Amino acid sequence: MSDPIRAGARVFTNAERQLFREVLDVLIPAASALPAAGQAGVADHVERRAEASPALRRTLGEGLATIAILASRRHPGGFAALDHGQRETVLRSASTEAPEAFDALVLHAYSGYYALPEVLAAIGAPVRPPQPLGHEMAPFDEGLLARVKQRAPLYRPTPPA
Amino acid sequence: MPLPSWREPVDVLVVGAGAAGAAFTWSVSREGLQALCLEQGDWVDPASYATTRADWEAARQAEWHPDPNVRRLAADYPIQASESPITPLMYNAVGGSTIHWSAHFPRFKPSDFRVKTLDGVADDWPLTYEEIEPFFDLNDQMMGVAGLSGDPSYPPKSPRPTPPIPLGKLGETMARGFDRLGWHWWPSDSAIITRPYDGRHACNNCGPCDWGCPIGAKASTDITYWPKALASGARLVTRARVREITVGSDGLADGVIFHDAEGRVHEQKARSVVLAGNGIGTPRLLLNSRSGRFPDGLANGNGLVGRNLMFHPFAGVRGYFDEPLDGFKGPQPCAMISHQFYETDLARGFVRGYAFQMVRGFGPVNSALGGMEASPIAWGGEHHAEHARRWNHTIAIGVMGEDLPEADNRVVLDRNLSDANGIPAPRVIYRLSENSRRLLAHGIDRAKEALQAAGATCVDSTPLLQTAGWHLMGTARMGADPSMSVVDRYGRCHEVPNLYVVDGSLCTTSAAVNPTSTIQALALWVAHHFKQHVRRP
């Protein structure tokens, strides 16, 4: 069965896709049990969303283009040739030069990352969607209301006509 | 060229199949009246709801976004809202916004209907809590409600159809905070069933109610009222967008002109017309229904159609706790309420009041994006530590204030924007009042106090949520004086006595609680009197 998070889509060019993976690794880096977003395949998730939305495709493309231009000004080898600190600097510049596009990159990066099973498991979240299983919970304990029940009415009644 | 007549005249034509339109249609159809409802949206298959998908949270940023300007589905129409700090939200489908509402189901209180008499502001309603109480009860039975009677912030209520939704660890933590302060709290009335009811499954505490409930535990009118209304003989036509209400030579409404799914134009005649298009859609339709006799729009001789728009100004306050709270378990928005500061106390520096709504934890994505409009967690090296501090460690309190009616807050027609059928779109003009600012500031301080009493180690707040315009009220207000209102106490337009309004537009004031329970009770009240007064052929 195909993985719905990583299911492939093809709206980015190879260059865009490679750049996006590198950007994702800076946005959400690896930490202990948590993978970096680019290495974990989040770009595929975002590309799938972009496939369903031409407007999102344009927005993300604009963001990636801005990042590529800013990176090329620092090094002819582009983003891939920068060290980590330089990459962060480029992304901070992109966030001010193309804020709408950059915010969209971050939003969709987060949306994809926190749907990955290995990420959900690492943070202690259920590794499944909310339905159909739901969650077991103890029923409401009316005894908790003992104090509130002693209160005089708080509401104001309808005044006489 | 005359438009083709699509069907024979009906007794009553209802525009909109959401919360109020469904309740009204059910009520009149069971009395044998011919009821036809036109709905611009379609049926939504519960199997399509995102909560069964691994990327369920992402859907909230796209096809399940509450803002139609973002969602842009075929059923939606654009809204120009750049002149409002609060974005209007809605869903267009059979069931309307009940498809992805949170199902808070409190009632307005007795004082809410008498604000002028009690507090000297706004206007009294032309009816009382006691008059519509039987319709609250009827609506509770039809929708299915979880809750507990005995709340001292309300008059005694009938037994709730099912027990309260569970508090969970998060709710019990917050209850201890309120108890330490000696403040009121109570489990919310929610239009969610905790036991099997009326052929529907009980809630399984999955969490995100506002993504749609695929098991039918949350009440939406596509699964509550509509099956019963259709069984009673009502007819429902979907993807039918009403363009204007037509008027006969006698000045009465005699039908509507609407577009079908392919954009074709039809005319449908009716002996009465009932509007249930919400507080934006209804004034839009009235203002678009111009004629020589009604040059400023139908029922708008006094210029009040579209005016007195009320939202509920909403502040978000978050508390962060050291211990995990299991906040992903249980109906996300509905743990409990506090009405400690609901009624007027002028010593607080404002008139009227506000309610607290406790919100369970946000999902992992929404936690990263901020949740209740906090700043998103920063990207980069500190991201994971901050996410760990927030996810499953947050309690949010919504401060929902009463919005007093002001004539300058209004819905008008936009000169440049129209929908896919070329119908002029609504433009929302809204300014937050000084009373609302003071009210929210007070509420934020008190909410922080409550969260700290519950054990929060850190608190923060958003002074006014932008994406919070769920509650759309006041734009065809109810009143006894025809010069000061659009409809009378039976929802009947003063100027066009066979034209009715049953949605939030008719609210004279907004109260400080979610309005759907009251709007539906009013729709049933209007239907009750409609049936008594309408003349059948």
The pLDDT value given to residue B171 = 96
Q: Is the peptide bond before B159 cis (omega within 30 degrees of 0)?
A: no
pLDDT of A144 above 90 = yes
Predicted confidence (pLDDT) per residue in B187-238, tens digit:
999 999 999 999 999 999 999 999 999 999 999 999 999 999 999 999 999 9
The pLDDT value given to residue B6 = 60
Q: Which residue from A90, A122, A95 is spatially nearest to A106, judged by alpha carbons?
A: A95
- In sequence order, the β-bridge partners of residue B398 are B316, B357
The pLDDT value given to residue B535 = 54
Q: How many CB atoms lie within 10 A of CB B449?
A: 16
| 58-87 of A, contacting B, C-beta below 8 A | none
The pLDDT value given to residue A4 = 45
Q: Quote the tokens at residue A106.
A: 């971050």
Which of B56, B129, B369 lies at the smallest CB-CB distance from A110? B369
Assign residue B504 a region (left: φ > 0; alpha: ψ between -120 and 50; beta: otherwise).
alpha
User: Does any domain span residue A155?
Assistant: no
The stretches of A39-152 forming alpha helices (DSSP H) are 42-51, 54-74, 84-97, 99-113, 117-123, 146-149
Predicted confidence (pLDDT) per residue in A68-127, tens digit:
999 999 999 999 999 999 999 999 999 999 999 999 999 999 999 999 999 999 999 999
Which of A53, A107, A117 lies at the smallest CB-CB distance from B369? A107
Q: Quote the tokens at residue B227.
A: 């099956």
Confidence label for B34 from pLDDT (cuts 50, 70 and 90): very high
Q: Do B61 and A53 touch (CB under 8 A)?
A: no
A–B interface: beta-carbon pairs under 8 A: 187
User: Does any domain span residue A27?
Assistant: yes
Q: Please, which contacts does B288-297 make with residues 24 or more away whose CB atoms are closer than 8 Å?
A: B288/B243, B288/B244, B288/B413, B288/B423, B288/B424, B289/B244, B289/B245, B289/B246, B289/B247, B290/B244, B291/B247, B293/B247, B293/B251, B294/B247, B294/B495
Q: pTM higher than 0.80, yes or no? A: yes
- In order of their start, the domains of chain B are 5-46+62-533 (3.50.50.60)
Predicted confidence (pLDDT) per residue in B380-437, tens digit:
999 999 999 999 999 999 999 999 999 999 999 999 999 999 999 999 999 999 999 9
Which of B152, B185, B367 lies at the smallest CB-CB distance from A153? B152
The pLDDT value given to residue B120 = 98
Q: Say if A14 is an interface residue toward chain B (CB within 8 Å).
A: no
Q: Do B186 and A148 touch (CB under 8 A)?
A: yes
- How far apart (Å, rounded) are the C-alpha atoms in residues B121 and B376? 39
**A87: containing domain:** 14-123
* A-interface mutation test, from B379, B383, B391, B394, most A Cβ less than 10 A away: B379
What's phi and psi for B394, nearest 5 deg?
A: -120, 135
User: Does any domain span residue A36?
Assistant: yes
Q: Say if A143 is an interface residue toward chain B (CB within 8 Å).
A: no
Do B95 and B221 meet the contact criterion of CB atoms below 8 Å apart?
Answer: yes
Residue A141: list chain B partners with CB under 8 A.
167, 172
Which of A52, A110, A159 lies at the smallest CB-CB distance from B368? A110
**Lowest-confidence region among B69-73, B270-274, B484-488:** B69-73
Confidence label for B73 from pLDDT (cuts 50, 70 and 90): very high
User: Does any domain span residue A57?
Assistant: yes
Q: Do B339 and A31 touch (CB under 8 A)?
A: no
Which of A106, A115, A141 lies at the smallest CB-CB distance from B54? A115
Q: Say if A146 is an interface residue toward chain B (CB within 8 Å).
A: no
Amino acid letter for position A59: T
Q: What is the number of domains present in chain A? A: 1
Percent of chain B residues topping a pLDDT of 70:
98
Q: Do A110 and B129 touch (CB under 8 A)?
A: no
* B-interface mutation test, from A5, A135, A150, most B Cβ less than 10 A away: A135
Q: Do A120 and B383 touch (CB under 8 A)?
A: no
Secondary structure tally for chain B: helices H, strands E: 12, 15
Confidence label for B5 from pLDDT (cuts 50, 70 and 90): low
Do B530 and B31 meet the contact criterion of CB atoms below 8 Å apart?
Answer: no
Which of B51, B163, B329 lies at the smallest CB-CB distance from A131? B51
Q: Do B152 and A29 touch (CB under 8 A)?
A: no
Do B98 and B19 meet the contact criterion of CB atoms below 8 Å apart?
Answer: yes
The pLDDT value given to residue B335 = 76
User: Does any domain span residue A150?
Assistant: no
**ipTM over the 0.85 cut-off:** yes
The pLDDT value given to residue A7 = 52
- How far apart (Å, rounded) are the C-alpha atoms in residues B78 and B375? 27
Amino acid letter for position B324: P
Q: Do A132 and B55 touch (CB under 8 A)?
A: no
pLDDT of B537 above 70 = no
SS3 state of residue B226: helix
User: Does any domain span residue A60?
Assistant: yes
User: Does any domain span residue A47?
Assistant: yes
- How far apart (Å, rounded) are the C-alpha atoms in residues A150 and B458? 31
Q: Say if A155 is an interface residue toward chain B (CB within 8 Å).
A: yes
Closest-CA distance, A37 to chain B, in angstroms, reads 11
Predicted confidence (pLDDT) per residue in A5-47, tens digit:
455 567 889 999 999 999 999 999 999 999 999 999 999 888 8
Which of A27, A114, A133 lies at the smallest CB-CB distance from B379? A27
- pLDDT (average), residues B100-111: 96
Residue A133 is given by DSSP the state T
User: Does any domain span residue A53?
Assistant: yes
* A-interface mutation test, from B148, B384, B394, B467, most A Cβ less than 10 A away: B384
CA distances from A36 to A114, A115, A122, B152, B534 (A): 12, 14, 13, 52, 67
Buried b (16+ CB within 10 A) or exposed e, A141-155: eeebbeebeeeeebb
